[in-house]
Chain A
Amino acid sequence: MTLLASPEHRLLRIQARLRGGVAMDRPYGLELSALLATHAHRLRKAEAVSQGRRVHSDADDEDPEDFDLPLARCVSGDDWYWAASCAQPDVHPEEAPEARTYFQNVASAHARDFASRPLPEVYARKGSYRDVMMPSSVTLASTLTWFAIGDKERIAAALRPLRAIGRRRATGEGVVLSWSIEDAPGDPWRTLHLGDGDQLLRPVPIPVAEALGVDYRVGAYAIRPPSWNPNRLTEMAMADE
């Protein structure tokens, strides 16, 4: 296991103060590298659109291109992952998320009157305009914490514009009141993976979990963004529940 870091990379504790909870996966959700990669992807897409270029979808690429993120890299064998944890909410791990509901209904007559181009038939049961009533499991945390090894200035610049994170942002979930980024004390490798406790803060390759001496189970998880590409899915060690 090797940590590939630049001189400006430091161990950081990043915190987001939330307005009223966040819709996220638990125990592993809202990976910091995924947040930064999504931001980079949006910038890339906006640039392409402004230049009138088509945006290439990397969802089916055999080896999708990696984003240039302001993070160190953790190398394990032939593979590597970004030196950043998943979000840790300040709630008890056993505390159940709050069950909220997300609705989406299209008023087809209204849409037809106000659309700038003729709309196709709107079906309530299929297509992009279908009626939706989905669960929204919201973790009622007031703070999310990440550990990362990276460039403080560039991470701050990327996170500052993010005013909401997680799922169901359009319905008011995951609103961020403020971000704070500070240097964290401790051994970078151990703090990055375990924080203040002894549970893995993110899925890691199995040799890394073995070297850290923690209990783990094996499951499928994307080793690094873009996580939507199936080729990134690999067997990883996760906290033993």
Chain B
Amino acid sequence: MSDPAKKIAAPLGSKANRYAPRLDRREKAALDILDAFFAEHPGAWVAFSGGKDSTAVLDLARRVNPWVKVAFFDSGLEFPQTTQYVNDLVESFGLELSVYPAFPDALTILERTGYWEHGRFKVKENLQEALINRPLRRATKSLGMFSIYGLRAAESKERHALLAKHQGVVPHHTKGQLDRVAAAPIWQWEHDEVHAYLAGRGVPLNPLYAQQIRLGIPERRARVGLLVDGNELAHGRWAYARQLAPDLARLVETRLPVLAQYR
């Protein structure tokens, strides 16, 4: 038997110990941002996508305001697992959820572009405008201009610069006028801290994460988003999507035939 006294500690300790002390500080900072945000704007709502970051934010927001309103922007091309997960959370958390469907839906827009069918004339379409900006404007109109997101600085340099400048509460202006204010309480969190927080709180994750890892996708590259993504097709994005949602994928391939090359 090995002698415990002779056991050599890992330089950084266990994963749980490594993140636990910092996670407490992160959690406190996030709750402080939310406390101040809700005190100033009691009607603030959470934008929920079904991903891990917005799930962590939803849980934090509910700790400060259990009756917080939640918005879900439905692109029309969500994984069925995400739709089911959102419905399950609505039931188990008793959420007041408003769904903002994209119109036209993502599949119709992709089909219109002509990029997905051989020999079609190609037209530029703005997915960001149709799937995010327009539903967001509708949500802002009906739920108010103060919203809460699961954005993190570590996701991109631009995001880091913006969130650091405003310390996690970002005002957005249109034509010089304040349009909306977005709070990102977990803006300083790292990928592992989000997972550690959710595991510690016992909040279930979207099952898509576990299913992607089972297929061999590294944990850090597992994504919950649109079923069809024009990026990384030659690196298996669609091949994985087909395995994760085969029924929906067969229907999508009938409308976007080029995808069949990327199985």
Contact = CB atoms under 8 A, between A and B. Distances in A.
Interface string A154-174: 000000000000010000000
Contacts of A134: 234-236, 239, 262
B260 A133 contact: no
Interface stretch (B48-56, B95-103, B147-155, B246-254): B246-254
A103 B62 CA distance: 46
Most B Cβ at <10 Å: residue of A96, A98, A131, A222: A96
Interface in A117-135: 125, 130-135
Interface residues of B, number: 20
Contacts of A233: 250-251, 254
A99 B246 contact: no
Contacts of B248: 220
Nearest to B255: A230
A96 B214 contact: yes
Main secondary structure of the interface of B (DSSP, over half): helix
B28 interface: no
A228 B251 CA distance: 11
Contacts of A222: 250
A220 B234 contact: no
Main secondary structure of the interface of A (DSSP, over half): strand
A222 B260 CA distance: 15
Interface of A: 25, 59, 96-99, 125, 130-135, 137, 167, 219-222, 228, 230, 233
Given A25-B246, A220-B251, 5 more contacts: A97-B215, A134-B239, A135-B239, A219-B247, A228-B260
Interface of B: 214-216, 234-236, 239-240, 242-243, 246-248, 250-251, 254, 257, 260, 262-263
